[in-house]
Amino acid sequence: MKPLFIAVLDGDKKLGKQGEIICRAGDFIFLSDNPAINMRNIPKEKEYFALLIEFEYEDFIGIGPNTLSEQSFSLGEISIALEKCLQQFVEWSLFSPQAMWSLRRKEILQLLYHLGYKDILSMAVPHKLGQKIHVILSEQPSVDVALATICQKVAMSESTLRRKLFAEGTTIQEIKDQVKLGLGLHLLQTTSHSIVYIAEQCGYQSQSRFTSRFKGRFGLTPSALRKTKVTD
């Protein structure tokens, strides 16, 4: 998966197999692209609101010197400056072209780094082939591109492609889900389109399948995420 930033705005988010890590309202957690932590335990006692942002490896380039760290996540408090930055990210995404989204993501990373969360730079590892395929699939996220077409575009046999992706810790299906669900994540938080429409735009023929895949990746359903708010 990609590095994932989760800002908890209301309620608590429990992490770990036994829920031993609690991310409360006003806190954030930054998960690496290969988090060694269970992040799907969302409490039912009260309503839960959160803002989720996926980052690309390229977003981290030029932020600062990377230091090796075995930490697969970083916890912190949402400061006033970070809250304003996140609000601007959501508002700006409503009208900006997709090609420019990376500018705001990079801005968030720069602010986190400036605030002292330097360990976030170790949360992303370059996966060259996986990223190349991700770019290819992102051109038409609603289309299920055939494996033969992907192999042709990267000039590799199917066996070589699978072997190299395995070495990077991913698969074709995981990359397809990254592309489709990443688009769904953005559309859910920045548009008023129906979930059925968003599912179609992401290449899912049914809302139920989209919901199942989305919850499996992000830990909550699209309708639950739709409640996300940055300010009242």
Q: Is the overall model pTM greater than 0.85, yes or no?
A: no
| Cα–Cα distance, 182 to 120 (Å, whole number) | 20
Single-letter amino acid, residue 83: E
Do 21 and 132 fall within a single domain? no
Do 43 and 111 fall within a single domain? yes
> Of 82, 99, 125, which residue sits at a domain end?
125
Lay out the sheet containing 4-10: strands in order across.
49-54, 4-10, 27-31, 73-77
Tell me the residue range of the domain where 99 lies: 1-125
Joined tokens for residue 156: 């590799």
Do 165 and 231 fall within a single domain? yes
pLDDT in tens, 169-228: 889 998 898 889 988 988 888 788 999 999 999 989 889 999 998 988 887 789 888 876
Do 73 and 176 fall within a single domain? no
Do 88 and 199 fall within a single domain? no
> Of 125, 146, 173, which residue sits at a domain end?
125
DSSP structure class, residue 50: E
Q: CATH number of the domain at 50, please.
A: 2.60.120.280
Kindly report the average pLDDT of the chain as a whole number.
Answer: 83
pLDDT reported for residue 200: 92
Number of domains in the chain: 2
Do 178 and 69 fall within a single domain? no
pLDDT reported for residue 210: 93
The candidate with the shortest Cα–Cα distance to 14, out of 33, 27, 1, is 27
Do 105 and 21 fall within a single domain? yes
pLDDT in tens, 97-111: 777 778 889 999 999
